[in-house]
Amino acid sequence: MDIAGVLLVGGESRRFGRQKAFAHWKDKEFYQWSFEALNEETQKTVIISHPSLAEKLKMRYDGVYLDDVKYRGKGPLAGLYTAMKKIKANWYAILPCDTPNITGGVLAELKELRDERVDAIVPVIEGKKQPLIALYHKRTLPFIIENLEEGNLRMSSLLDSISVLFANNLKSPSSAFLNINDQDTYQKRRSF
């Protein structure tokens, strides 16, 4: 498979105050926007779920997994590791569940930037790196494992250990990258 989609629905939503994956945005739940964007631009999408959400998601979709037990609770790196173990592809497009403005167009732009000389393509929006809205090559797996084993759980640790193309000039609007982590942002932005 050329490119697989990975939807990360693994957070505990502490700042949001409830499970944000199922919060409503326009006419869909948060996670559905990311799932649809991935389905537009990949051959197959898997969902890596927090244990408390897995059963509800499994009633709707096949391909819902918990983090591999060895790294469960270790954040997005564990989710990416699990996805790479569950589905074989050359590239993995990852999205979090809390970016309801995301579109397949963002992923299409990233796909156009693929180059065998780089291990990841990460957007930079308004000066901020977006490692959870990115593409990772299958050859990053050993680096993911190394970081997990060493307890370096930040995505920035992975980026420091691989070859990354930072995409600064995407045509997609910065609003597509809006990440909603708390109720204040949610209430303000949902009325737009």
User: Which residues define the annotated binding site?
Assistant: 8-10, 20, 67, 98
Annotated binding site for GTP: 8-10, 20, 67, 98
**Helical residues (DSSP H) of the chain, grouped into ranges:** 30-41, 51-58, 76-86, 104-112, 141-150, 155-161, 183-190
Cα torsion for 168, 170, 172, 173, to the nearest 10°?
A: 40
Can you state the angle between helices 30-41 and 104-112, rounded to 10 degrees? 40
Q: Which residues are annotated as a binding site for Mg(2+)?
A: 98
In whole angstroms, give the CA distance from residue 129 to residue 72.
25
| Residue 66 β-bridge partners | 49
